[in-house]
Amino acid sequence: MSGDGFFNILDTVDSTNNYAMAQIHAGKAKHGMLWFTHAQTAGKGQRGKYWATESGKNIAMSLVLAPGQLSITHQFHLSALVALASFEFFFTYAGEETKIKWPNDLFWRDRKAGGILIENIYQGKVWKWAVVGIGININQTKFENTLINPVSLKQITGTHFEPVELAKDLYARLMKKLAEQDQDSGKKIMQNYNTHLYKLNEKITLKKDVTKFKTVIKYVSDDGHLITLDAMEREFDFGEVEWVL
């Protein structure tokens, strides 16, 4: 492992989130420490899914935060803030067709460029730690057939990038955004998040259990619920519905 103590680089690891969690449990983690890896053998995605990434070509990293050191007290506000920082980072290189797909995926056009997985540690009701895992496709151009509509920065721009340097850029954006927060930031976070929401005010197809239905995305609520409108207003928690792309 190399690094300056806060931005750390691993050659290979099963999962950066697992590694960061182990550092917390070993008492070695500090607020703001990050681990980037060139190769991840068992990356973790949302809802127990596997995050596949080709060795040496992408961003796979996990940031450790002590929420008590932040003004963010609402769990989804942190998720939205991380999604915004990731969006702004990717937008810088990929342009205006970049969006945030609820709850916190990076999309370019109708293709997935990255994802975020936040795992939390509580002691009683106290939010002690958050491990923020971020995976973004940078130079990869061939993907597993099981993935739906993936895209990388290289495919979008035709340019080869240095993943470590881009990870440092993203890390700086994340820490700057986190440092700027105060008790009144939640409303602004959600306003910005909803401004860049994928398919905002558009009709989409969702699937709940075995039923598919069309509805229009209106916004994401303060607690992270997706609000849609068709014959009636609907509200969905993450994991309650699936997108039909």
Q: What pLDDT, in 10s, does the model give residues 148-178?
A: 899 999 999 999 999 999 999 999 999 999 9
| Mean pLDDT, residues 125-131 | 93
207 beta partners: 212, 242
pLDDT band of 45, cuts 50, 70, 90: low
The order of strands in the sheet holding 98-101 is 2-3, 7-13, 34-40, 59-65, 126-136, 111-123, 105-108, 98-101
Mean pLDDT across the chain, nearest whole number?
92
CATH number of the domain to which 49 belongs: 3.30.930.10
Give the chain's domain count: 2
Same-domain status, 101 and 179: yes
Q: Looking at the predicted structure, is the pLDDT value of residue 50 above 60? A: no
Q: Which percentage of the chain shows pLDDT scores above 90?
A: 81
**Mutual angle of helices 185-195 and 75-94, in 10-degree steps:** 40
| Same domain, yes or no: 24 and 133 | yes
- Average pLDDT in the 198-224 region? 97
- 31: left (phi > 0), else alpha (psi -120 to 50), else beta? beta
Q: Are residues 148 and 239 in the same domain?
A: no
Percentage of the residues of the chain whose pLDDT score is greater than 70: 94
Question: Are 191 and 84 within 8 A, CB to CB?
Answer: no
The predicted pLDDT at position 49 comes to 60
- Compute the half-sphere exposure of residue 199: CA atoms within 13 Å on the CB side of its CA: 25
231, 244 Cβ separation under 8 angstroms: no
pTM: 0.93
Give 55 or 170, the one with higher predicted confidence: 170
Q: Is the pLDDT of residue 181 over 90?
A: no
Structure confidence at residue 125 as a pLDDT band (50, 70, 90): confident
Give the mean model confidence (pLDDT) for residues 35-45.
Answer: 84
**140, 231: one domain:** no
Let me know whether 95 and 79 are in one domain.
yes
Of the candidates 121, 169, 176, the residue with the CA atom closest to the CA atom of residue 7: 169
**Which of these three, 195, 217, 233, is where a domain ends?**
195
Domain of 223? 203-243
- Please, what sign has the CA dihedral across residues 129, 44, 90, 239? negative
> 162 with 238, same domain?
no
The reply to whether 190 and 207 lie within a common domain is no
Nearest to 91 by CA among 113, 110, 76: 113
> Which pLDDT score, from 0 to 100, does residue 46 have?
58
Name every residue whose Cβ is closer than 8 Å to that of residue 236 and which is 6 or more positions away in sequence.
206, 208, 225, 226, 228
For residue 240, is pLDDT > 60?
A: yes
Do 89 and 117 share a domain, yes or no? yes
User: 97 and 216 share a domain?
Assistant: no
Residue where one domain finishes, among candidates 162, 178, 195: 195
Residues 145 and 218 in one domain: no
* Residue 54 reports pLDDT greater than 90: no
Same structural domain, 177 and 225: no
Domain match, 149 and 211 both: no
Q: Is the model's pLDDT at 2 over the cut of 70?
A: no
